[in-house]
Amino acid sequence: MRLCLTDDEGSFKTIEVSSTLEIENLAPLIELELQIPASRQLLYSNGTQLIDTKRTLASYKINQDDIILVRNHGPAPSTASMSKAEMTRQQILADPDLQRRLIMQNPAIAGALTSPDQFERVFNEMSRQRAAYEQQSQQEMRNLQNADSMDVEAQKRIAEEIRKANVAQNMERAIEYHPESFGRGKGVDLLFGLDMLKRHLACIDLASNVLRINHEEVPFLPEHELPDKAKLEASGSSRDESTNGASSSAAAAGDSGKVATQTTQPSASTHAVPTASTFSETSIQSLVDLGATREQAINALEACGGNVDMAAGLIL
């Protein structure tokens, strides 16, 4: 039968064992999966500690897909050793790109980077929440799988859970591999970020003041030659902006053939989540009906320039 193993740090592993396996023989398998020595394991199932190591899993009424909590009761780590939270904090501090992504995606973690104690509290709390959520999701899925196979409502709920998981996975992949698609700016015809520069092997030649892609060169515009729509407006100006990115980009390229650059101070609105008024409620609702959350639907529409069909493809 299949068992789920979890520890206090939220790690999840699954193993296949026999119901007649004794607890003392289960401990080495747990050590391989969770790296917790057998001598320091405290095992719990359904709120009961598995004390008698000579008893079998069946004698403890442990069944298919049950969860076994493994706690480490060993001595506290020395101050010289580094906790998992601190190791994670050091890795983030050493990676500027990761820090920038965290500021947009997880401000709570990003705001605690300068304080080891605060970071550890936030990190551990998020780990506990994630473990509880995953445990609850797995329990709900097991309940659905054990439901009557002829129950139409149960089958609909299973399909809905699978669709939500696919939506979340596709959104994570889009943010990870195409982050430039989620950038926003007022009056931006085409957002050509660092990832796209790398993808197209572009070269920013500041000595010649040109952007070079293959053998083509596009000169940069000085600020006094910028078109009116590209200049920075007052903070209280209208937020009306074009959502048809592809057609606007082509028109801009045909009109000027030049790349406009402007050094501005970053503003909080640059990374703000698009408001509902940016797109029609019909477009947003059509994506929500596919299993996306409202925020995911708006992000997908923003990434696809308001094209509902393309946004649906991104979600599915």
176-190, pLDDT tens digit by residue? 666 656 555 555 566
- The rounded Cα 99 to chain-centroid distance in angstroms is 14
Q: What local confidence, expressed as pLDDT, does residue 267 receive?
A: 42
Residue at which a domain ends, from 72, 95, 125: 72
Q: Which of 18, 41, 72 is the last residue of a domain?
A: 72
Same domain, 157 and 104: no
Q: What residues make up the domain containing 215?
A: 194-234
- Assess whether 100 and 131 both reside in one domain: yes
Mean pLDDT of the chain: 74
* 3-state SS class at 2: strand
How many distinct structural domains can be found in the chain?
Answer: 5
- Interval 56-61 mean pLDDT: 89
Is position 91 within any domain? yes
Q: Which of 116-120, 254-258, 267-271 has the lowest mean pLDDT?
A: 267-271
Question: Residue 170 falls within a domain, yes or no?
Answer: yes
**Of 29, 23, 30, nearest in space to 49 by CA:** 23
Any domain includes 271? no
Amino acid 11: pLDDT: 82
Confidence (pLDDT) at 178 = 65
* Pair 66, 98 in one domain: no
pLDDT band at 82, cuts 50/70/90? low
- Type and span of the H or E element at 221: strand 216-221
pLDDT average, residue stretch 80-105: 78
Say whether both 116 and 128 belong to one domain: yes
Is 171:299 a contact under the CB 8 Å cutoff?
yes
**pLDDT confidence of residue 272:** 41
Residue 79 lies in a domain: no
Residue 249 inside a domain? The answer is no
